Amino acid sequence: MRNAIRRALTKTIHVKKRDIELPPSEHIVWMVYFATVCLIGLIALEVVHMVYFRSWNSEVFSAITGLIGTITGVFISQRA
């Protein structure tokens, strides 16, 4: 999964008829990996909460929304 994140965040620059790839730092790759794992865990927690309690938990949903915003922001800022 980290290789897929690394490939997605790699920036390609065109210099003198050659493509130069600039890989992202390992800190960014680990941060996106950790945020993705947390996102999957929170989605699972929300599903279990909905099945068990038959209600929506807005706090977990706001955490999911925040992580989605963080991951999207990293991808947009790295590709710019």
Q: Report the percent of the chain where pLDDT is more than 90.
A: 81
Tell me the Cα Rg of the chain: 17
Domain range enclosing 64 = 2-79
How many domains does the chain divide into? 1
Say whether pLDDT at 79 is over 80: no
Token reading at 20: 């130069």
- Nearest Cα neighbor of 36 from 71, 9, 79 is 71
pTM given for the model: 0.83
User: Quick one: pLDDT at residue 78?
Assistant: 83
| pLDDT, tens digit, 9 for 90 and up, residues 59-70 | 999 999 999 999
> Residue 9's pLDDT is what?
92
16-48 residue pLDDT tens: 889 999 999 999 999 999 999 999 999 999 999
